[in-house]
Amino acid sequence: MAERQCSICSLAILPTDSTADRGGELVHLRCLEPRKPATRIEPPLKNHRDVRGDPICPACGRGIDRGTSAVARTADYMVHLECLLEARRMLQA
Ligand SMILES: [Zn+2]
Ligand SMILES: [Zn+2]
C-alpha cells in the first residue's frame, strides 16, 4: 500500500498521527493549526516572575518593572500596554 502523505508538509502520515480531511486531502491535524505570530498573546495567560519577583510580560518576555506606567492589567495577568496594542493589531490584521 502506498504511503500516505500530508498535502501540507509532504511528510508521511503514520497510523499513529492525528489526521484531518482538508477538502478530500489527508493532512496532519498539527499542520492545520495556524501559524502563530510571535507576539500573539495566548491563553491561558500568566505572568512568570523574574529573579527580582517582578512580573514578566507574557507577550514580549521582558520584565514589567514596578516603575513601568504603561501596563494593562486584567484579572489574571499584566502585560505592557504597547504589547497588548500590538497583539490586538495582529489579531485584527
Ligand atoms: Zn503534515
Ligand atoms: Zn511586553
Decide if 39 is inside a domain: no
Q: Grid coordinates standing for 28?
A: 496532519
Indicate whether 23 pLDDT > 80: yes
CA of 28 from ligand 1 middle (Å) equals 4
- Using the mean position of ligand 1's atoms as its centre, give its distance from the Cα of residue 87 in Å: 27
Residue 79's pLDDT band, with cuts at 50, 70 and 90, is confident
Residue 12, pLDDT score: 92
Kindly state whether residues 28 and 54 are assigned to the same domain: no
DSSP symbol at 81 = H
Please state, in angstroms and rounded to a whole number, the distance separating the CA atoms of residues 21 and 28.
9
Write the DSSP symbol of residue 43: S
Span 27-63, pLDDT tens digits? 998 888 766 555 665 666 678 888 888 888 888 888 8
Q: Which ligand sits nearest to residue 81's alpha carbon?
A: 2
Percent residues over pLDDT 70 in the chain:
82
Whether 52 and 84 map to the same domain: the answer is yes
- pTM exceeds cut of 0.85: no
- How far, in Å, from the CA of 34 to the mean position of ligand 2? 23
Q: In terms of residue numbers, what domain contains 3?
A: 1-33
Q: How far is the CA of 90 from the centre of ligand 1 (A)?
A: 25
